[in-house]
C-alpha cells in the first residue's frame, strides 16, 4: 500500500510538491494534496496518471508472482548465543586470514550470501579465506532488553573471541559502527578492520532530513514500549522516505523486463531480502534515532559503549573504508569521515549502491576483489 500510494502521488504530478514542501522530510496537508491533484488532472493528459498507476501495479504483480526462490543451503555454525549464530563459510583449511563479517541489526544477514553467483561470502571462500558471518537473528525475549553495549561489549565480542584467533573484522552498514567500537575495545581480537558503507557523519549531506528522522521517535514510542522493538513496517517506512518515488520507478521498470533473465532474478532476490526485515530492539532504536540521527553523536565524540566514548582516531590497526558513490542509504559524505579520522585508513569509493556493492551484478569488480587484494596485502 505504501508503494501504491507513493506511486499515485508521483503519477499525478505531486512529487514536485512533496519534495518542495519544506526542508527535511516532506509534510503536506489535505488541502495542498487536493489542490495539486485537481491541478495535475486539469492541466495534463487524464490517461497518463492511470497508465502510470497501471504500470506500477503490473510491476508489483510481476514481482509477487515471480517463481524465483532463494534455495542456498546454510553452512554450519561454530558458535551460538540466544538468537545469534556464527556461520562458517570456509570450504576447508585455508592459509589466508579469517574474515568475520558483521551485518546490520535491522536486515537479514544473508544479503552477503544472497544467491548463486551473488554471494560475497561463498566467493571469498574460494579465495583461500575463511569467511565467518555473524547472523544476529530475530530478537527474542532476552535481546529485547539489549542496548548497543549488550550487542557490542557482549555478544559481538564473545562471537569474535569464539574464533580462537584474531580476525579481520568486516562491518557492513550499521554493522560497521558496531565493528569500530569492538575493534577499539578489543585490539587483541581484531588484527584488521574493513568498513563497508558505514555511516559516521549522520547529518551529511542533509542535516534537516536526519533531524526529521529523529523527530519521528515520539510517534514511534507507543510501539517501542508495547513491542520492545521498532516494528518492521515502521523501519521499512523510514527507509522508503530516503527515496520515496524511486520505489515506484523500479517496479515499473521491472514489469518491462524479461522475467526469465538473470537481471530479473537478481531484482527479486534483492527485493525479497529488503522485504524480509528484522525488528530493532527498543533501546537501540532510541539510541540510533535520537543519538545518531538527532544529535550526530558518533562524529561529535559523544557516542559511548560501556561508558567509554568510541574514538575511531584511537585505532592502531590496518583499516579499509568503502564509501559507495551511488549509496542513498549511507551517502558517501556520511561514510568518508571514518577514513579521514582513522590514522592510515585506506578509502575505496566504488561506483555502486548500498546493496549493489555487496551483491549486485558488478559487486565482484566493485568491492570483492579490491577488499581481497587489500586483505592479502596486509602483513598479518
Euclidean distance between the first and the last CA atom of the chain, given in angstroms as a whole number? 51
Task: Indicate whether 311 and 181 sit together in one domain.
Answer: yes
Task: Indicate whether 195 and 96 sit together in one domain.
Answer: yes
129-144: average pLDDT: 96
Q: What does the pLDDT read at residue 236?
A: 82
Cα 194 to Cα 315: distance, rounded to the nearest angstrom:
12
Q: At what angle do helices 262-274 and 246-255 cross, to 10 degrees?
A: 140
Task: Indicate whether 59 and 195 sit together in one domain.
Answer: no
Give the pLDDT band (50/70/90) at residue 247.
Answer: confident
Contact 78, 88 (CB under 8 A): yes
Q: What is the pLDDT of residues 26-49, one digit of tens each?
A: 444 445 445 544 554 455 555 555
Is 24 or 250 the better-scoring residue by pLDDT?
250
Nearest residue to 70 via CA among 108, 42, 22, 30? 108
Report DSSP state, residue 144: G
Three-state SS at 171? strand
Give the pLDDT band (50/70/90) at residue 248.
Answer: confident
Nearest residue to 147 via CA among 105, 196, 113? 105
Longest dimension (CA), the chain: 70
For the entire predicted model, the pTM comes to: 0.88
Q: What does the pLDDT read at residue 331?
A: 96
Q: What does the pLDDT read at residue 20?
A: 52
Q: What is the pLDDT of residues 68-127, one digit of tens each?
A: 999 999 999 999 999 999 999 997 666 779 999 999 999 999 999 999 999 999 999 999
Peptide bond preceding 296 in cis form (omega within 30 of 0):
no
Contact 43, 32 (CB under 8 A): no
The residue behind cell 544476529 is 136
48-52, 64-68, 95-99, 185-189: range with lowest mean pLDDT: 48-52
Q: What does the pLDDT read at residue 29?
A: 47
179-206: average pLDDT: 98
Contacts 24+ apart (CB under 8 A), 121-126: 121/89, 122/89, 123/364, 123/368, 124/89, 124/99, 124/368, 124/372, 125/89, 125/90, 125/91, 126/91
Does the pLDDT value for residue 278 go beyond 50? yes
Give the pLDDT band (50/70/90) at residue 12.
Answer: low
Q: What does the pLDDT read at residue 106?
A: 92
Assess if residue 225 is contained within a domain: no
Task: Indicate whether 307 and 244 sit together in one domain.
Answer: no
The CATH number of residue 333's host domain is 3.40.50.1820
Cα 101 to Cα 360: distance, rounded to the nearest angstrom:
18
Helix (H) / strand (E) element for 67: namely none
Give the pLDDT band (50/70/90) at residue 54.
Answer: confident
Q: How many folded domains does the chain comprise?
A: 2
Task: Indicate whether 143 and 290 sit together in one domain.
Answer: yes
Task: Indicate whether 96 and 244 sit together in one domain.
Answer: no
Contact 198, 338 (CB under 8 A): yes
Q: What does the pLDDT read at residue 42?
A: 55
Q: Which domain holds residue 9?
A: 2-65+232-269
100-104, 272-276, 296-300: range with lowest mean pLDDT: 272-276
**Contacts for 281 with CB less than 8 Å, ≥ 6 apart:** 105, 139, 143, 144, 145, 146, 228, 229, 230
Strands 77-81 and 84-88: antiparallel
Single out the residue in 244, 269, 294 at which a domain terminates.
269
Average per-residue pLDDT in the chain?
89
Is 118 or 50 the better-scoring residue by pLDDT?
118
Contact 368, 120 (CB under 8 A): yes
243-256: average pLDDT: 84
Q: What is the pLDDT of residues 213-245, one digit of tens each?
A: 899 999 999 999 999 999 988 888 887 776 676
Task: Indicate whether 19 and 144 sit together in one domain.
Answer: no
130-158: average pLDDT: 97
Contact 190, 315 (CB under 8 A): no
Three-state SS at 289? helix
Question: What percent of the chain has a predicted confidence (pLDDT) above 70?
Answer: 84
Does the pLDDT value for residue 9 go beyond 80? no
Contact 109, 139 (CB under 8 A): no
Contact 178, 171 (CB under 8 A): yes
Assess if residue 72 is contained within a domain: no
Does the pLDDT value for residue 174 go beyond 50? yes
Assess if residue 337 is contained within a domain: yes
Q: What does the pLDDT read at residue 235?
A: 86
Q: What does the pLDDT read at residue 28?
A: 43
Cα 377 to Cα 334: distance, rounded to the nearest angstrom:
27
Single out the residue in 250, 269, 288 at which a domain terminates.
269
52-56, 103-107, 354-358: range with lowest mean pLDDT: 52-56
Is 173 or 244 the better-scoring residue by pLDDT?
173
Q: Which three cell numbers stand for residue 241?
A: 522516505
The residue behind cell 540510533 is 288
Assess if residue 197 is contained within a domain: yes
Amino acid at each position: 500500500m505504501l508503494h501504491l500510494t507513493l506511486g499515485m502521488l508521483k503519477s499525478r504530478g505531486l512529487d514536485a510538491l512533496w519534495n518542495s514542501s519544506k526542508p527535511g522530510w516532506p509534510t503536506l496537508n489535505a488541502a495542498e494534496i487536493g489542490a495539486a491533484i485537481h491541478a495535475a488532472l486539469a492541466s495534463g493528459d487524464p490517461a497518463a496518471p492511470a497508465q502510470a498507476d497501471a504500470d506500477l501495479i503490473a510491476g508489483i504483480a510481476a514481482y509477487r508472482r515471480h517463481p524465483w526462490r532463494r534455495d542456498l543451503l546454510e553452512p554450519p555454525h561454530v558458535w551460538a548465543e540466544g538468537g545469534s549464530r556464527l556461520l562458517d563459510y570456509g570450504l576447508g583449511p585455508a592459509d589466508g586470514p579469517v574474515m568475520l563479517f558483521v551485518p546490520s541489526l535491522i536486515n537479514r544477514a544473508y544479503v552477503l550470501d544472497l544467491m548463486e553467483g551473488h554471494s560475497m561470502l561463498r566467493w571469498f571462500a574460494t579465495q583461500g579465506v575463511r569467511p565467518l558471518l555473524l547472523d544476529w537473528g530475530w530478537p527474542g525475549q532476552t535481546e529485547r532488553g539489549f542496548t548497543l553495549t549488550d550487542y557490542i561489549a557482549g555478544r559481538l565480542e564473545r562471537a569474535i573471541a569464539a574464533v580462537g584467533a584474531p580476525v579481520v573484522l568486516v562491518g557492513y552498514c550499521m554493522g560497521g559502527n558496531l565493528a569500530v567500537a569492538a575493534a577499539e575495545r578489543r585490539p587483541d581480537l581484531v588484527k584488521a578492520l574493513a568498513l563497508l558503507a558505514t555511516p559516521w557523519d549522520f547529518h551529511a549531506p542533509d542535516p534537516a532530513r536526519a533531524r526529521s528522522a529523529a523527530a519521528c521517535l515520539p510517534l514511534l514510542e507507543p510501539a517501542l514500549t508495547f513491542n520492545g522493538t521498532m516494528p518492521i513496517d515502521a523501519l521499512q517506512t523510514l527507509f522508503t522516505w530516503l527515496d520515496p518515488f524511486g520505489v515506484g520507478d523500479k517496479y515499473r521498470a521491472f514489469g518491462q523486463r524479461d522475467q526469465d533473465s538473470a537481471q530479473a532474478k537478481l531484482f527479486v532476490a534483492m527485493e525479497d531480502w529488503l522485504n524480509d526485515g528484522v525488528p530493532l530492539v527498543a533501546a537501540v532504536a532510541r539510541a540510533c534515532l535520537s543519538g545518531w540521527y538527532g544529535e550526530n553523536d558518533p562524529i561529535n565524540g559523544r557516542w559511548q559503549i560501556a561508558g567509554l566514548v568510541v574514538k575511531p582516531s584511537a585505532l592502531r590497526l590496518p583499516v579499509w573504508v568503502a564509501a559507495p558513490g551511488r549509496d542513498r542509504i549511507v551517502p558517501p559524505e556520511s561514510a568518508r569521515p571514518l577514513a579521514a579520522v582513522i590514522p592510515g585508513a585506506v578509502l575505496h569509493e566504488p561506483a555502486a549502491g548500498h546493496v549493489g556493492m555487496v551483491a549486485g551484478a558488478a559487486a565482484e569488480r566493485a568491492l570483492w576483489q579490491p577488499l581481497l587484494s587489500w586483505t592479502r596485502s596486509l602483513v598479518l
